[in-house]
Amino acid sequence: MIEETVLHEELDPARYIERVSLVSGEVLDEPILPRQLLVRYHRDYHVVDIHARHMMSRMMRATGDPEATRRKMKERRRQGHRAASVIARAIGQKDVTKVSKALFGLKDREYFFRYKKPYIAREEVQDRLAELKQEATEKWQAARADGPPRVRVLLTGGTGFVGKEIIWQAAHDDDVEEMIVVIRPKEVRDRKTREVIETRSPKQRGEVLLDRLWLDTPEQRSKFRFVAGDVEQPELGLEPAVIEELESRLTHVIHCAASVAFDDPYEKSFHANVTGTLNALRFSHRLQTAAESPFVAHLSIETSYIHGRQVRDTAREDEIVFPRNFYNNYYELTKAMASIETERFMLAKGLRVIQLCPAIVIGESRAGNNRGDTKVVNAPVNLFGRAQEALGSTTGSWVDRSKGSMLARMACTFPGDPSAEINMIPVDRVVAGIIAALKKPAAVGERVHLATDNRLKSEQMIRVVEEELGIKVKLAEPTLHRTVTLPGMTRLLKRMKQEKIARALNTLGTIFGGYSEWGQPVHEVGNDVRLLGLSETRPNTQHAFRMLCRHNKYVQNFGKLWDLDEMSRREKVWWEFIEDLEDLAGRPAGSMSAVDFRGALKLGLDLAKFERKGTGT
């Protein structure tokens, strides 16, 4: 099992991380297991520990002072250690630590983790970065010597949520001359029999993708070429002839492919996020070192959560340190490892790199369109929406309705401290930063947080959900929910033969429990404005979340609409409706109350046919 022992050197966390003694300061020559790097390994193992964290949450809600709460809990720990010492002497136990752990759940670590430092002096790092910026500037100037810039990009992850928005914005950007999208052939299977109906080539998949993105003019479509490849393969799985051609054409590589499954095991996350990143970096280095190459820079799309549970200090853009509170999941951990590999290629091999780190990406800011995405924040919103429908159902027997009502109310218990601040950023702002970075050689060697400075609290999110979806969601203290309530609910649901709902609730609780506790990391922002030239006024997060709820309710039908062609048609109608509504109202649709918006919707949109009223379209 990968959780018990690291089986292969490639997967060994010790490639990036070292364990250091708190007593001597020496590096400890001990194996580092992936599970030891997650917060759940160090918590939720003792009833007293669980109770203490619950009390911390209550104290935080009462005082609103995180530092005072931490000081109080440290004092409680000291009292626990003193009590354990007294009890140990009374029973003749020499090892006080055993007593502390058994009675109070107190286990003190005599070590901490840190990332290995690059074997290069700070002054040399600055000199190297200045050199890379200068090289990028010269290449960029050459690309625009005869007029407008000739930006020719290779994109990985083009079929993902962010990747689709990159394609859409690139299609509308005159500076982007060509975009080559790496994409795998896809087997289409019968939903019932699972038999392969057809295999769609990259070109066929690309044509369908452009149709769904409403890119229908010859000028827009001619920018894009779709080639067979796989980021988890060397040279991105591209044919030699294709690579040879690209060496003399590409100015940039955008590596956007990644796994965003927060509950994947370590090995799977590692291969998707670290191995894929290494393959993309090696490919870009080959481009950069090819004779007569016009290559300018490699854009690495990461996440601002590479900083993990860094709760005491601001997560800075210019550094990455191992968080004393560890990582929430293997997605965060392996993305941090990928960032370290990116820095190694930059400093050791001289690869010109820009690191772009989005926070939690949601639908675009104006209309909430997400092109069928049902992951991350969309998942609980869709679950709440389906629960509301179940509560309002009048069909079926009394027993069936009662059962449905009970299941719905169980689904509407969500782990979250009211004061927890969630860093959500609309996809259009993220991609505006990515497209801008293509034209900003001064950003080479820098890390840019594509995040927000107006984070949304859990209590605000729940209030918006109630206004927009008509259902009251109960916030549960995350530690108690994760360790007590959720296991009980899961067992009950399985007895009721509701395994699917049990899995959904367990997944949501596991994923979001860590992101909805008080004391969430604060991500520094500023490079998005200073280096990329984006607007200093970042999207209104509450407006964007409100539009996410409305989109998922009316367009996505709470995740029950699976036909992506129909989704594309609906989102276009929705976009045009929102555009006209805002022109008429003179303000963003996200600023409108739920009541006012529903009134406008009733007048302007036929939801049964999903057509604009009076237009037939």
Indicate the residue among 114, 134, 163 that finishes a domain: 114
Is the per-residue pLDDT at 4 higher than 60? no
Separation of alpha carbons 136 and 444, rounded Å? 7
438-494: pLDDT as tens digits: 999 999 999 999 999 999 999 999 999 999 999 999 888 887 777 888 888 888 878
Map residue 395 onto helix, strand or coil.
coil
Separation of alpha carbons 541 and 454, rounded Å? 6
Q: Which two tokens stand for residue 461?
A: 């999110």
80: closest CA among 61, 64, 59, 103?
103
Is 370 inside any structural domain?
no
* 446 in the same domain as 567: no
Is 390 inside any structural domain?
yes
Beta partners for 357?
Answer: 449
So what's the pLDDT on residue 408?
72
The average confidence (pLDDT) of the chain is 88
DSSP H or E segment with residue 114: strand 111-115
What average pLDDT does range 79-103 have in this prediction?
A: 72
In this structure, the chain runs to a length of 617
Separation of alpha carbons 350 and 125, rounded Å? 11
Is the per-residue pLDDT at 3 higher than 60? no
Name the CA dihedral angle for 180, 186, 188, 192, rounded to a multiple of 10 degrees: -130
379: closest CA among 483, 262, 476, 459?
262
What average pLDDT does range 71-100 have in this prediction?
A: 73
Separation of alpha carbons 95 and 99, rounded Å? 7
DSSP string computed for 299-367: EEE--GGGG-S--SS-B-TT-----TT-BSSHHHHHHHHHHHHHHHHHHHH---EEEEEE-EEES-TTT
Angle between helices 486-495 and 499-513 (to 10 degrees): 170
353-394: pLDDT as tens digits: 999 999 999 999 999 999 999 888 998 899 888 888 877 666
* 384 in the same domain as 320: no
Is 368 inside any structural domain?
no
DSSP string computed for 532-551: T---SS---HHHHHHHHHHH
* 140 in the same domain as 103: no
pLDDT band at 2 (very low <50, low <70, confident <90, very high): very low
CATH of the domain at 188: 3.40.50.720
Is the per-residue pLDDT at 323 higher than 90? yes
* 197 in the same domain as 102: no
Q: Give Cβ neighbours of residue 12 (< 8 Å, ≥ 6 apart).
A: 6, 32
Is 342 inside any structural domain?
yes
* 475 in the same domain as 547: yes
What average pLDDT does range 414-433 have in this prediction?
A: 92
Least confident of 115-129, 317-331, 491-505: 491-505
pLDDT band at 331 (very low <50, low <70, confident <90, very high): very high
Q: Which two tokens stand for residue 534?
A: 């984006």
Q: Which two tokens stand for residue 10?
A: 């490639």
* 419 in the same domain as 431: no
* 459 in the same domain as 339: no
Is 369 inside any structural domain?
no
Is 344 inside any structural domain?
yes
Q: Give Cβ neighbours of residue 469 (< 8 Å, ≥ 6 apart).
A: 381, 384, 385, 388, 549, 553
11-53: pLDDT as tens digits: 999 999 999 998 899 999 999 999 999 988 877 656 666 666 6
Is 327 inside any structural domain?
yes
> Does the pTM of the predicted model rise above 0.85?
yes
Q: What Å distances lie between residue 392 and 78, 194, 395, CA to CA?
A: 51, 35, 9
pLDDT band at 1 (very low <50, low <70, confident <90, very high): very low
45-63: pLDDT as tens digits: 566 666 666 677 777 677 7
Is-contact 456 377, C-beta < 8 A? no
Q: Which two tokens stand for residue 450?
A: 């594509």
So what's the pLDDT on residue 286?
97
Phi then psi dihedrals of residue 23, to 5 deg: -85, -55
Separation of alpha carbons 388 and 392, rounded Å? 6
Separation of alpha carbons 313 and 395, rounded Å? 53
Separation of alpha carbons 417 and 460, rounded Å? 11
Q: Is 572 exposed, middle or buried (0-12, 13-18, 19+ CB in 10 A)?
A: middle
Q: Is 145 exposed, middle or buried (0-12, 13-18, 19+ CB in 10 A)?
A: exposed
* 403 in the same domain as 293: no
Place of tokens 């968080």: 323
Total number of domains in the chain: 3
Q: What's the CA angle centered on 203, arms 198 and 205, to 5 degrees?
A: 55
So what's the pLDDT on residue 71?
75
Angle between helices 398-411 and 486-495 (to 10 degrees): 160
pLDDT band at 267 (very low <50, low <70, confident <90, very high): very high
What average pLDDT does range 224-234 have in this prediction?
A: 94
DSSP string computed for 503-571: HHHHHHHHHHHTTSSSSPPPBP--HHHHTT---SS---HHHHHHHHHHHHHHTSTTTT---HHHHHHHH
* 413 in the same domain as 320: no
Is 416 inside any structural domain?
yes
**Phi-psi category of residue 24: left, alpha or beta, with phi > 0 → left and psi -120 to 50 → alpha:** alpha
* 153 in the same domain as 38: no
Q: Long-range pairs for 184-193 at CB < 8 Å and ≥24 separation? A: 184/228, 184/229, 184/230, 184/237, 185/228
Q: Which two tokens stand for residue 235?
A: 């040279």
Beta partners for 187?
Answer: 199
Indicate the residue among 114, 132, 165 that finishes a domain: 114
* 231 in the same domain as 181: yes
484 against 352, higher pLDDT: 352
DSSP H or E segment with residue 581: helix 564-585
* 87 in the same domain as 67: yes
128: domain range? 119-362+424-450
Cα 435 to chain centroid distance, Å, stands at 19
The strand ranges marked E within 141-289 are 151-156, 176-183, 186-189, 196-200, 224-228, 252-255
HEC profile of 69-109: HHHHHHHHHHHHHHHHHHHHHHHCCCCHHHHHHHHHCCCCC
HEC profile of 127-167: HHHHHHHHHHHHHHHHHCCCCCCCEEEEEECCCCHHHHHHH
Q: What Å distances lie between residue 25 and 19, 323, 553, CA to CA?
A: 10, 17, 55
Separation of alpha carbons 42 and 40, rounded Å? 5
So what's the pLDDT on residue 195?
82
Least confident of 422-431, 468-477, 557-566: 468-477
Q: Give Cβ neighbours of residue 615 (< 8 Å, ≥ 6 apart).
A: none
Separation of alpha carbons 483 and 46, rounded Å? 10
% of residues, the chain, pLDDT over 70: 90
Q: Which two tokens stand for residue 123?
A: 């002054």
What average pLDDT does range 155-179 have in this prediction?
A: 96
